Structure 1
């Protein structure tokens, strides 16, 4: 499993609902096991691609639904990695969530 496969899986899942960051971590773990690499590096690479290239937005869930985190792509990525470090990369439904952008939906549907 490579980065493009993980990206595709997350975007397809994001067509129907918000995606917990746990899903990204699980897919990164699978890919890292096969390639004998660090799953955190894989997860950060995928998340960076998704956010910087405008496929997904990072945020959290509240009573009002999905709330995107404010800031530049780099600020959001830094916040996400810090949140994951804070829970030792085991967020169990917390940490943050991912939401497809219109570009992410178009890519997933293609």
Structure 2
């Protein structure tokens, strides 16, 4: 009789241990998932912060280039880029040929 009670108690305790281990394992998995989500969110925030820190430099560079507008029409001393009128013949290519580009293949 005592042996049977002892065995029943052992079985109940083993079931309780198994239940607690399953609950603990689920908590670990949930926390690992949350850590992964937070790492992704953290990386996105870091990228956004880097972009925001880089943006003023990009705007400054952009404004620096825009501070000197390109003259139009191009100066008459250069034929590059000059458009031919109805009584003129085109004097040459709009852009000079760059021989370093001739070795580029498909």
With the shorter chain as reference, the TM-score category is under 0.3
Which protein has the bigger strand share? 1
Structure ranking higher on relative contact order (CA contacts 8 Å, 6+ apart): 1
Task: Compare the two structures and name the one with the higher helix fraction.
Answer: 2
**TM-score, normalised via structure 1 length:** 0.17
TM-score, normalised to structure 2, is 0.18
Larger radius of gyration: 2
